[in-house]
Chain A
Amino acid sequence: MTRWWAVVREALASALSQPVASVVTIVMVAGMCATVLLTTGRTVGAEQAVIGTIDSAGTRSIVVRAEADAGLNTGVLDRLANLDGIEWAGAFGPARDTQNTAFADGTRVPVRLAWGDNLSDLGLAASPVADRSAFASTAALTQLGMPDAAGGIATVDGDQFAVIAEFAVPDYLSFLQPLVIVPQQRGPDIAEQPVSVLVVIAERPDLVAPVSAAVQSVLAVDDITKVTLSTSESLAQLRAIVEGQLGSFGRGLVIVIFALTAVLVAAILYGLVMLRRKDFGRRRALGASQSLIVALLLTQIGALALVGAVVGCAAAAIGLAASGDPLPGIAFFAAVAILAIVTGLVAALVPALAAARRDPLKELRVP
């Protein structure tokens, strides 16, 4: 039984012994990768940059504001947990003015109780904290005059909290700035608390509309007129349009380039196989099976295509970086490289089968 590493070694030795054919193959695959990356890759990089800008504006957020007597309470979180398409949900109680207990006339900053299963996503302490431990945003700490993010705050009616850490406010909560939040536990023995702001993040931009409708249906408020729901649906639509149009343009370009190059690679490989037909005839005569010939050629082309893909990707990355264009990302580079190798192998299949079917008698008698 022929060992696979012996086949790999023979394929590599064959590639090295035919430098011209090998270099031609490497150059073709490298050219295929570089062409795709310098055209479609540039488009994808631009698309990702535009989408990143849109996403930073909170494309997927749904915000519900409820007046104090609307009847919205923390029970809504249990009902939201049963809905699909939600990545994150948090409820915030009514804002109450607080000030640093160290200053008699300090600036007042709103504090809100906060509930949610994934408040740790906001960068808060992962372990449960005391019900009176507060986290403050940078803006809030500045206004409170608390640069070390530690100290006491008190509401106007005397309720006291301890600020224990600073946290970074994500884009979708920036409308609540300056923000001090006090994470609260929920449980069967704890009464539901009033909620004035509910923030829901959909899993994907295209889910914003259906999730909004679903959220509205589970609010269970006493008076719907005292509740407002705002979404970033228009931004999500814009995002989908940008992604769809640039994406389909890029995919179309990739298919055309790969198809054209595959035909070219196949034609050149077929020519190279024809030039070496005596070699394949001799191999067949000496005991190489058809499957071994195919395996040898595909391994050889696969190895050369791998080198070509690496060279092409590296050249394209340098080119894009030098011209200041956005890079499309590692995943796109990897996908193009893999696709180029697969294209090379598919293109090599017909020549490989042709090589495997060479008639030893006919080839060995050709001078």
Chain B
Amino acid sequence: MALLEARGISFGYGRGVPILDGWDARFEAGEVVAITGPSGRGKSTLLYLLGLMLAPRAGQVLVDGADAASQRDAARARMRAGLFGFVFQDAALDATRTVLDNVIETALYRGQPREEAKARALELMAQFGVDLRATHKPGQVSGGQAQRIALCRALLNRPRILLADEPTGNLDQDSATVVVDAMRSHAVSGSTVIVATHDPALVARCDRVIQL
């Protein structure tokens, strides 16, 4: 059984032509999959559909074989907080809170005790070299550091499915390498990593490529 599966999903904005029409894919545990294609083909949209943030017009998104996309909002939110990790293109950090608060944000949504989340966050931040920035605001860190902080946030709950939208799009070579290495090592632990990207270097390091 695939960890994550899209079965005949269709989606479009408004009444226009669907971006995705009867799309199928399976994602197994332990693999890193790149979704590539020209801009506007629906890479990000597909990622958000697989991440249960959008509901498909038709078809199913199955997690561990169970239809997840048709669940109620609260159930989908619980799954997003518990099973998924997300890395967004521009890090999407809360500029008004400290770096540490940003990393442990999802603990609230899972009901995870704050102290436990803090300990795990500091461990991850040390691993990615941003622990000295814990009390800083996101505006005080570089773009590469911001993306590593976003990666810490995504890995806080040891997600079984990690979704990343252009995670290296704004990064220099060194920072991009850190991010890709982290995603690869996370997949080794038995998770699925799905990356929407058009970065050839990143695509080259993925196990499989899906072209849209």
**Which A residues lie at the B interface, using CB under 8 A?**
1-3, 6-7, 9-10, 13-14, 17-18, 278-279, 282-292, 360-361, 364-365, 367
Partner of B81, one of A13, A278, A287: A287
Which chain A residue has the least Cβ–Cβ distance from B74? A289
A343 to B45, CA, bound (A): 40
Instruction: Collect the chain B residues with CB atoms within 8 Å of residue A290's CB.
Output: 73-74, 77
A10 to B109, CA, bound (A): 11
Indicate if the CB atoms of A287 and B74 lie closer than 8 Å.
Answer: no
- Report which residue of B51, B92, B114 has the largest number of chain A beta carbons within 10 angstroms of its beta carbon: B92
Closest chain A CB from B7 CB (angstroms): 21
Q: A286 with B86: in contact, given A6-B111, A361-B53 (CB under 8 Å)?
A: yes
Indicate if the CB atoms of A13 and B53 lie closer than 8 Å.
Answer: no
Instruction: Collect the chain A residues with CB atoms within 8 Å of residue B108's CB.
Output: 2, 6-7, 10, 288, 292
Indicate if the CB atoms of B94 and A286 lie closer than 8 Å.
Answer: no
Q: Can you list 30 A-B pairs, Cβ within 8 angstroms, ordered by A?
A: A1-B111, A6-B114, A7-B108, A9-B114, A10-B108, A13-B97, A14-B96, A282-B92, A283-B105, A284-B77, A285-B92, A286-B80, A286-B81, A286-B109, A287-B77, A287-B78, A287-B80, A287-B81, A287-B110, A288-B108, A289-B74, A289-B77, A290-B77, A291-B74, A361-B45, A361-B48, A361-B53, A361-B54, A364-B88, A365-B44
Indicate if the CB atoms of A292 and B44 lie closer than 8 Å.
Answer: no
- Report which residue of B79, B94, B106 has the largest number of chain A beta carbons within 10 angstroms of its beta carbon: B94
Indicate if the CB atoms of A279 and B94 lie closer than 8 Å.
Answer: yes
Partner of A2, one of B88, B92, B97, B109: B109
Closest chain A CB from B111 CB (angstroms): 5
Instruction: Collect the chain B residues with CB atoms within 8 Å of residue A282's CB.
Output: 88, 92, 94
Chain A CB within 8 A of B167 CB:
no
Q: Mark B100-140, 1 if CB is under 8 A from A, else 0.
A: 01000110111100100000000000000000000000000
Which chain B residue has the least Cβ–Cβ distance from A281? B92
Which chain A residue has the least Cβ–Cβ distance from B114? A6
Instruction: Collect the chain A residues with CB atoms within 8 Å of residue B105's CB.
Output: 283, 286
Partner of A288, one of B90, B109, B114, B153: B109
For chain B, the count of residues having a C-beta within 8 Å of the partner chain is 31
Chain A CB within 8 A of B82 CB:
yes
A287 to B94, CA, bound (A): 15
Indicate if the CB atoms of A3 and B80 lie closer than 8 Å.
Answer: no
Chain A CB within 8 A of B27 CB:
no
Within 8 A of A (CB), among B41-66: 44-45, 48, 51, 53-54
Indicate if the CB atoms of B111 and A2 lie closer than 8 Å.
Answer: yes
A278 to B95, CA, bound (A): 11
Partner of B53, one of A2, A7, A17, A284: A284
Partner of B106, one of A13, A286, A365: A286
Which chain B residue has the least Cβ–Cβ distance from A363? B92
Indicate if the CB atoms of A285 and B80 lie closer than 8 Å.
Answer: yes
A286 to B156, CA, bound (A): 12
A160 to B54, CA, bound (A): 97
Q: A285 with B86: in contact, given A13-B101, A18-B96 (CB under 8 Å)?
A: yes
Which chain A residue has the least Cβ–Cβ distance from B109? A287
Which chain B residue has the least Cβ–Cβ distance from A366? B90
A200 to B81, CA, bound (A): 70
Closest chain A CB from B168 CB (angstroms): 17
Partner of B92, one of A9, A291, A364: A364
Closest chain B CB from A58 CB (angstroms): 62
Indicate if the CB atoms of A288 and B77 lie closer than 8 Å.
Answer: yes
Closest chain B CB from A282 CB (angstroms): 5
Instruction: Collect the chain A residues with CB atoms within 8 Å of residue B78's CB.
Output: 287, 289
Which chain B residue has the least Cβ–Cβ distance from A293? B77
Closest chain A CB from B151 CB (angstroms): 13
Indicate if the CB atoms of B53 and A285 lie closer than 8 Å.
Answer: yes
Which chain A residue has the least Cβ–Cβ distance from B47? A361
Instruction: Collect the chain B residues with CB atoms within 8 Å of residue A364's CB.
Output: 88, 92
Closest chain B CB from A60 CB (angstroms): 58
Indicate if the CB atoms of A360 and B48 lie closer than 8 Å.
Answer: yes
Closest chain A CB from B74 CB (angstroms): 5
Closest chain A CB from B196 CB (angstroms): 12
Instruction: Collect the chain A residues with CB atoms within 8 Å of residue B110's CB.
Output: 2, 287
Which chain B residue has the least Cβ–Cβ distance from A282? B92
Q: A360 with B73: in contact, given A1-B111, A286-B86 (CB under 8 Å)?
A: no
Instruction: Collect the chain A residues with CB atoms within 8 Å of residue B90's CB.
Output: 367
A14 to B78, CA, bound (A): 22
Indicate if the CB atoms of A361 and B80 lie closer than 8 Å.
Answer: no
A18 to B96, CA, bound (A): 7
Indicate if the CB atoms of A278 and B92 lie closer than 8 Å.
Answer: yes
Known: A284-B77, A287-B82, A290-B74. 17 other contacts (CB 8 A): A3-B111, A6-B111, A7-B108, A9-B114, A13-B101, A17-B97, A283-B109, A285-B53, A285-B80, A287-B109, A287-B110, A288-B81, A289-B78, A290-B73, A360-B48, A361-B53, A361-B54
